[in-house]
Chain A
Amino acid sequence: MKRWITTTDHKRIGLLYFWTAFCFFLVGGLEALLIRLQLAQPNGHLVSAETYNQLFTMHGTTMVFLALMPLSASFFNYIVPLQIGARDVAFPRLNAFSYWVFLLGGLLLNASWLVGPLFHAPHWNVAPNGGWFGYANLTERQFSPGPNIDFWLLGLQILGISSLAAGFNFIVTILNMRAPGMKMLRVPAFSWMTLVTQFLVITAFPVITVGLVFLMFDRFFGTHFYVATAGATPLLWQHLFWLFGHPEVYILILPAMGIVSEVLPTFARKPLFGYTVVVFSGVLIGFMGWGVWSHHMFAVGLGPIADSVFAGTTMLIAVPTGVKIFNWIATLWGGDIRGSTALHFAVGFIAMFIIGGLSGVTHASPPADLQQTDTYYVVAHIHYVLFGGTVLGLFAGIYYWWPKMTGRLLSEPLGKWHFWLTFVGMNLAFFPMHLIGLLGMPRRIYTYTPELGVSALNLVSTVGAFLIAVAILVFLVNVLRTRTHGRPAPNDPWGGATLEWSIPSPPPVYNFSVIPTVASRLPRWKTERHEPMRDPPAVPPAPIHVPPGSWWPLIAALGLPVLALAPLTHTLWLAFLGAAILLVGIYRWAFEPFEV
């Protein structure tokens, strides 16, 4: 227990991220099922309108910040150091700090489901209820008097700190901790996409932090950042949020693109087609992702010139995205394909992501978007890219790297069941949403009348959602079975080309008994010019120093939720206590002997 709490080992932290994020994924999934039950038929009355608002807000917030981002982070943690031939990340304790801050921030957010009585609310749930983008000025105290939005803005600020810390850490790790010979253009695609993602994180998160700080000041200290009567405009919030929000969608998709770029070559036994192009289009997407944010604001009336500019940039960004898709397809083309579960998910990713990308391009055009925005059509788009894209990509990664991370292979037959149920389920759940939206059903409305003519489609969608739930159950069964019955994994169950497959599964604490020297982009494959590398010996020839654990990242992290409780409960001394804990944690951390 203590070994896990004080751990600074990237592999353990990766597993902690995985299980924590997976639990949040299940919570977010339950919220989705409740939403779908409510909408299964017209005039539904399973939950109240207020609870419904909390459900869709927490569903979106949880899935984005507590499930998908940290699931990606679990692979950054576990896999990136292995792929680049390092013994750990650049700052192991900062890494532990990121994890604990994430956990505590997630718990704080979700505590809002249960603490109503503490805030004199008539019910248990006082969860955030302003949508995952929390549009001002609905979120002002005047219109949202309860603690709901407070939980949201404080929770997100805490989670931002976690992401930022991890961002600096992984940028330095990937740039500076590569094994000898691993030039930047020999870095595996997944690690490359991680690098781009982290640059987006460290530039985008400060912007939303500022937006949230303004909101916090408005709600707690009576400022007027989003108060129209004081001359301010709620548009400021929309700009700050989407300046962050669009890079954020790439933060969510780029890691999955990276995973797919690893899985396809392995199971087609062919190098990634146009590796350099894939890498550079990833970088380009990262840059261009900064220039499109107002496509979320076509409906507010920015004027024809602004609308045209952002429509143009949005359509342009589809180009590097399309380039990647062609590269993936070309990787499969003529390959020696083995239809593993991981490959199923990766190919599913390509297909579903194409649909999501296409609907994205349809609302890149402002006149079309005016018909689509705030309807279920947009919900269909985001679920094709986030579920069909990110989640399928993550599952591809899970099946691919599970043996490396746990030492056992997940069952392939159950995996295929998992895939097909997910695939059919997601299309049943999300495809009808295109039609539901075009027929005029708005988002974020707790019910609808039979006259709208979308009842049957909604029922289909709900059935699809439950099919996805069954698929997730199959996955959980697979996981449990594998713990006891799974086939033990050799170093390299798939014939992978990258360094993580050259060491035992799961790897020893020190990862590499001898740090390999890399001579090619596919070090473990035979290419025209290179023989496959020799795997590091099973027993290290010399003793390897492994850093001890540390308590201080956890303690420093504990200061943050305490700080957040101060405004939440209007208790000043908690602010001092929180700051003191944070400071003590940081000082002890800075001055404890810790040799990396």
Chain B
Amino acid sequence: MSEQSGEPPRGAGPHEHAHPDAETYLRVAAALVVLTVLEVGVFYVPAFRPVLVPTLLVLSALKFSLVVLFYMHLKMDSPFFSFLFGAPLLLATGVLVALLFLFFGTLTLRGAAGAG
């Protein structure tokens, strides 16, 4: 993606409104750290065994969203960028879920071992 990397300046000046300040960035970082500690914590606490997978997925989705919304500015940037990212992300997730179903799910009516 070199076309993007270093073309001559187009004079895009500072854009105060569009981006959060350092304080928000720090708060988000703190949240990310807390969530990561939670993730690892949950992993080690036996009591969480039965709900481990959903808990971890939720925590990781939260981290994902924080970075994408604040560090990648999707929250305040043009909604069109959210579409450019969101639509393929939706496809990507759909593909992942569909493949899991096809290989393991009852969709095959043949159980986990059968798909091969």
Contacts and interface: CB of A to CB of B under 8 A. Distances in A.
Direct A–B contact in the complex, CB atoms closer than 8 angstroms: yes
B16 interface: no
B3 A233 contact: no
A207 B110 contact: no
Interface string A298-316: 0000111110010000000
Contact of A590 (B2, B91, B106, B116): B2
Contacts of B116: 228, 233, 235
Interface string B80-115: 000000011001001100010110001111100011
Contacts of B102: 239, 294, 302, 306
A556 B108 CA distance: 46
Interface string A109-120: 000000000000
Interface of A: 91, 93-94, 168, 199, 202-203, 207, 228, 233, 235, 239, 243, 290-291, 294, 302-306, 309, 556, 586-587, 589-591, 593-595
B108 A303 contact: yes
B7 interface: yes
A303 B113 CA distance: 13
Contacts of A239: 99, 102
B115 A233 contact: yes
B54 interface: no
B73 to A, nearest CB: 18
Interface residues of B, number: 23
B6 interface: yes
Interface of B: 1-3, 5-8, 87-88, 91, 94-95, 99, 101-102, 106-110, 114-116
A586 B6 CA distance: 10
B6 to A, nearest CB: 4
Given A305-B106, A594-B7, A556 B2 contact: yes
A306 B107 contact: yes
Contacts of A93: 3
B8 A594 contact: yes
29 contacts: A93-B3, A228-B116, A233-B115, A239-B99, A290-B94, A294-B102, A302-B102, A302-B107, A302-B108, A303-B107, A303-B110, A303-B114, A304-B109, A305-B107, A305-B108, A306-B101, A306-B102, A306-B107, A587-B2, A589-B3, A590-B2, A590-B5, A590-B6, A590-B7, A591-B6, A593-B8, A594-B7, A594-B8, A595-B8
A510 B8 CA distance: 21
Contacts of A294: 102
A309 B101 CA distance: 12
Question: Quick one: which of B5, B87, B91, B110 has the most chain A CB within 10 A?
Answer: B91
A594 to B, nearest CB: 7
Contacts of B87: 199
Contact of B2 (A228, A303, A306, A586): A586
Ranked nearest first, the 10 interchain pairs of A and B with the lowest CB-CB distance are A590-B6, A303-B108, A586-B2, A233-B116, A303-B109, A94-B3, A91-B3, A590-B5, A305-B107, A306-B107
Contacts of A302: 102, 107-108, 115
Nearest to B88: A203
Contacts of B91: 203, 290
Nearest to A91: B3
A95 to B, nearest CB: 9
A91 to B, nearest CB: 5
A211 to B, nearest CB: 12
Contacts of B109: 303-305
Contacts of A207: 95
A540 to B, nearest CB: 23
Given A93-B3, A306-B107, A243 B95 contact: yes
A38 B57 CA distance: 57
Nearest to A93: B3
Contacts of A591: 6
Contacts of A91: 3
A93 to B, nearest CB: 7
Given A94-B3, A305-B108, 7 more contacts: A239-B99, A243-B95, A305-B107, A306-B107, A306-B108, A589-B3, A594-B7
A590 B4 CA distance: 8
A93 B8 CA distance: 14
